[in-house]
Chain A
Amino acid sequence: MQLELQNIKKSYGEGGSRIEVLKDISLGIEKGEFVVLLGPSGSGKSTLLNIIGGIDTADSGKIIIREKSMADMDEKALTSYRREHLGYIFQMYNLIPNLTVRENIEVGAYLSKKPLDIDEIIEVLGLKEHQNKIPSQLSGGQQQRCSIGRAIVKNPDILLCDEPTGALDYNTSKEILALIERVNKEYGNTVIMVTHNDAIKNMADFVVKLRDGVIRKSYRNETKQTAEELDW
């Protein structure tokens, strides 16, 4: 098991306004799996992703990654964990506005001891002719490609995707999903994707449905659809 969550609980606020966002979540993810965390707004899926990413902490429970408990990691170890093992893709891209496409990808490459070839990634992402542009010169889809490039260039073990198509139109969303699918297949990274788009569950190996902080259903797809085949 590459990643194991045991009895994760998380709440915000105090007293009467206390909200339990995650209520006793447990699940295990295998290496190379494409996982979709599915749920409506407020279901706790993004919080769960942030806890896995080490940018938020659980109130209780255990996260074991590659047989190491995250609870034993201090700030330095957590930084090093994110640096060495994780890649992040956000809904709003979060590119550094004053760096070019290429330089934004280099931001990721710098963190890895063995980064993938930047030119190859730019080629794969279809960004070759845009590599010297800054984010504000790009469309949303191009920006998201760049953000994928930044995440995968360091060849992370786990790729965390928080609503990566949330701000994109139908066709661009499918392109981006196809790209993530390709990355998962070609580079063998584990992908954990948060989405509220029900159709996307069909391309996952493992689907976890959340509502009100509880796993309502989790299952492994016996047959998967390709991103190309998805429709919504």
Chain B
Amino acid sequence: MKRNKQRKNLTGKMKKPLNKRLIRELTGDIGKYIVIFILLVFSIGFVSGFLVAGESMIKAYNESFEKYNIEDGNFRTEEKITAAQKERIEKKGVSIFENFYIEKEFDNNTKLRIFANREQIDKVCVMEGRLPDDLYEIAIDRMYADNNGLSVGDKLVSGSESYEIVGLVALSDYSALFYSNNDMMFDASAFGVSVVSDKQFAEYDEAKLRYNYAWLYDDKPQTDEEEKKASDDLMDVLANIVSLENFVPGYLNQSITFTGEDIVGDKAMMEVLLYIIIIIVAFVFGVTINNTIHKEATVIGTLRASGYTINELIRHYMSMPLIVTVIAAIIGNILGYTCFKNVCVAMYYGSYSLPTYVTIWSAEAFWKTTAIPVVIMIFITYFVLRKKLSLSPLKLIKRDLSGKKPRAAIALNKKIRFFDRFRIRILIQNKSSYIILFMGLLFANLLLFFGMMLPPLLVHFQGIVTENMLAKHTYMLQIPAGAIDDEDELSAAFSYVFLLNKISTNNPTAEKFSAYGLKTTGEGGSRVEDVSLYGIKENSKYIHADFDDKTVLVSSAYADKYGLKEGDVITLKEPYEDKYYGFNVTGVYDYDGGIAVFMSKKHLNDIMGLSEDMFSGYFSDTEITDIEDKYIGTVVDEESLTRVSRQLMISMGNLMYMVDGFSVVMFIVLIYLLSKLIIERNVQSISMAKILGYTGKEVAALYIVPTALVVVASLLISYPILSYVMVGIFRVMLKQMMSGWMVIWLDPSVYVKMFLMGIITYAVVAVIEYRKIGKIPMSEALKNVE
């Protein structure tokens, strides 16, 4: 027993000299550890910040449903609901709340939806200042204010009216500022929401009021299916009682749901990014460990022969990567909770009108950014070490590390120039480093590509949608639900005739079309989205195609998104009914502005059971001014078509710069570490070459050119792969994230810029390596180590 204790003490003492090496290893290779450390701290810090911000935000968002009493849905009626109607509706298990608004254009070319302050439902979160309580006071959405450079105390002018901004607010039912639920994307710079005092709201012209109502279920449906059924039932009831202009159940309301879905989606993406980075860093450590073992094989062999166990040595060589990872994880988390969290919160606040939040401790973020990276690091380094250190002490002492018989050298043609053969040998010798370099560069380039290709893609999209618009202005008329009630055709026809004179225009450029909104069926789990069906009159000035009774043209955006071609059959359904339509696609019409189907007006009206004369809107190259606003539902013009790209530019702009910066850092770190490793591995040979009389330039030409070739080849090979992957990622992302479609266009100049960035980055590293080669002393070769 006593002897065992003594032995234990002795072993304890034995270990200490090895541990002392750790500090020397750190100081001796400080450059490598600093760059890896920085890369890890930034990756872990940023992801930790992102997760903490995301968790805090999602908590604030989820709690806001109860805290601010967010509606279960809303609908808009043509006329104000009477008390009797309200009572009839509420008998169906819902409570109805008035949430009227008006829309006003302001002199800064923006539109505000103005509500009276809400005290019962969809309550307002005051972020700064106060709620208005007097005439001409207004509290505007915080993000709209940010995007338009407005702050408390400023004035907002609409014609002769001037409002004082008294507060910046977040409206709980508008965390994403969608103007219409059918919009592909919200636009927080051109559109915002706001509240005024009841006194001010009472001043508005009743004709301009939009009778919007929010509802809450008395018994909230528990599942999506139940909610869908409840809302479908409610819509049927409403359609019989009131004249519906709009009906949006909460679970389909993008203004409410988009934010939550996006935050959850972002989180998953960030975690994947972090793990890829950690795996790359772990492999870099793996290669450096491998290098160290090669260098210290005789020492390791001797230690093993003296009685050190494999595990003791594995622990020793694993210590440094683990210490660096753990410290980086701790510091990364501290930075994550402090500065990176704020950056990420600012990113969310830059996109969404979220209420105030409280930073929460996220155990999930901590585990994901600390435990998982450490486990990945342990796993990969252990695997590399175990493989090498399991060799017999004798093999280690003899430096026979291959574990099997030495492989014969690959035969190279003697006709190849000597220098080139030399370089090929270096490529072969360092193939594992070069593979990691390639994978790392591919990944860094993927990030860089993502960051760099998005802005030109958005600009290009803006360009093409504005170039091939159907008409400069496309007006969709707001036709009350009763007018197209196909269950009561007679009353529909009467309402329609009554409406006709209100929706006629004298504008000579205007051309009538009929339109019908259907939805995709969401087959294969894809997003259900709106499809606009246009019925085009014969010899149209705006749609240049020949239509017969069977012509069904899908827009090029539709064809691109769903891979449609002539002969395919598309199935569409009524938005809120179980009624399906099948169309045989006869061609593609060049229109990238939306998911649309074109056919003759007669054809569409026949299918939808509408009279031949019925129409739904106008194409016009000049603005139509003689139809009242309330009969105009939506206007598709340049502004509305470019909304998606503009908003993406705003909300992703900062992220793109960060992604660019990060990928460049990663690029430098990887090239620096791996080319350093290759030089270190060949220090003896380089030193010997110098003794033999090779000049510094010749040595550099031998040892730097192969890495340069790998970098150039990696860059060039990566571009087609990146293009393919990026188009794939983008297609999936766009399909899942948004309604509508964006033409995916990869700007050729991005490749040139990326290549130049890659080469310049490498050139900087090559200069450092050149200097390093110059400093390798000839005495290295004189050390009796082969």
Report A's interface with B, CB cutoff 8 A. 46, 50, 53, 55-56, 76, 79-84, 86, 88, 90-100, 102-103, 106-111, 132-137, 150, 162
Contacts and interface: CB of A to CB of B under 8 A. Distances in A.
Interface stretch (B113-121, B630-638, B690-698): B690-698
Contacts of A53: 691
Interface stretch (B303-311, B417-425, B546-554): B417-425
B313 interface: no
A111 B406 contact: no
B649 interface: no
A97 B429 CA distance: 9
13 contacts: A76-B695, A79-B694, A82-B693, A83-B693, A83-B695, A84-B693, A95-B786, A103-B421, A109-B418, A111-B692, A132-B409, A134-B408, A150-B692
Contacts of A136: 399-400, 402, 406
Interface in B680-727: 684-685, 688-695
Nearest to A103: B421
A76 B696 CA distance: 9
B786 A92 contact: yes
B10 interface: no
Interface stretch (B220-228, B470-478, B777-785): B777-785
B363 interface: no
A99 B693 contact: no
Interface in B174-198: none
Contacts of B685: 96-98
A102 B411 CA distance: 11
B180 to A, nearest CB: 67
Given A96-B688, A136-B400, A136-B406, 8 more contacts: A76-B695, A90-B782, A97-B685, A106-B418, A107-B689, A133-B408, A135-B786, A150-B692
B782 A50 contact: yes
B782 A98 contact: no
Scoring B399, B406, B692 by chain A CB atoms within 10 A of each residue's CB, the highest score goes to B692
Contacts of A162: 782
Nearest to A112: B693
Contacts of A81: 693
A134 B406 contact: yes
Contacts of B785: 92
B426 interface: yes
B428 interface: yes
A55 B776 CA distance: 12
Interface string B38-69: 00000000000000000000000000000000
B684 A94 contact: yes
Nearest to B430: A98
A150 B692 CA distance: 9
B688 A86 contact: no
Main secondary structure of the interface of B (DSSP, over half): helix
Interface of B: 399-400, 402, 406, 408-409, 411, 414, 418-419, 421-422, 425-426, 428-429, 684-685, 688-695, 778-779, 781-782, 784-786
A100 B692 contact: no
A213 B425 CA distance: 42
Scoring B690, B695, B785 by chain A CB atoms within 10 A of each residue's CB, the highest score goes to B695
Contacts of B779: 55-56
Scoring A95, A100, A162 by chain B CB atoms within 10 A of each residue's CB, the highest score goes to A100
Nearest to B693: A83
A86 B693 contact: yes
Contacts of B690: 79
A140 B458 CA distance: 66
Scoring A80, A94, A109 by chain B CB atoms within 10 A of each residue's CB, the highest score goes to A94
The 8 closest A-B pairs by CB, nearest first: A83-B693, A98-B429, A82-B693, A55-B778, A96-B685, A134-B409, A94-B688, A98-B425
Contacts of B693: 79-84, 86, 111
A136 B294 CA distance: 13
A90 B421 CA distance: 25
Contacts of A55: 691, 778-779, 782
A192 to B, nearest CB: 15
A81 B693 CA distance: 8
Contacts of A150: 692
Contacts, number: 88
Given A84-B693, A134-B406, A94 B781 contact: yes
B284 to A, nearest CB: 21
Nearest to B777: A55
Contacts of B781: 90, 94
Contacts of A90: 781-782
B678 to A, nearest CB: 11
A133 to B, nearest CB: 7
Contacts of A99: 409, 422, 425
A116 B684 CA distance: 26
Contacts of B684: 94
Contacts of B428: 98
Contacts of A95: 786
B691 A137 contact: no
Nearest to B784: A92
Given A55-B782, A92-B784, A98-B426, A132 B408 contact: yes
Given A55-B782, A98-B426, A132 B691 contact: no
B784 A91 contact: yes
A50 B343 CA distance: 60
Nearest to A99: B425
Contacts of A132: 408-409, 411
A101 to B, nearest CB: 9
Nearest to B686: A96
A103 B418 contact: yes
B409 A88 contact: no
A96 B694 CA distance: 14
A88 B694 CA distance: 13
A88 B691 contact: yes
A82 B688 CA distance: 12
A224 to B, nearest CB: 29
Given A106-B418, A110-B418, A82 B691 contact: yes
Contacts of B400: 136
A122 B428 CA distance: 24
B660 to A, nearest CB: 37
A46 B426 CA distance: 31
Nearest to B694: A111
Contacts of B414: 102
A174 B418 CA distance: 32
A203 to B, nearest CB: 24
B409 A133 contact: yes
B574 to A, nearest CB: 71
B570 to A, nearest CB: 61
A88 B692 contact: yes
A79 B695 contact: yes
Nearest to A75: B696
B230 to A, nearest CB: 73
A84 B695 CA distance: 12
B405 to A, nearest CB: 9
Nearest to B695: A79
Nearest to B426: A98
A3 to B, nearest CB: 17
A137 B408 contact: yes
B398 to A, nearest CB: 9
Contacts of A106: 418, 421
Nearest to A136: B406
Given A92-B784, A98-B428, A108 B692 contact: yes
A134 B412 CA distance: 13
Contacts of B409: 98-100, 132-134
Scoring B411, B689, B782 by chain A CB atoms within 10 A of each residue's CB, the highest score goes to B782
Contacts of A102: 414
Scoring A79, A81, A91, A162 by chain B CB atoms within 10 A of each residue's CB, the highest score goes to A79
Given A55-B779, A98-B428, A93 B422 contact: no
Nearest to A76: B695
Nearest to A80: B693
B100 to A, nearest CB: 80
B456 to A, nearest CB: 44
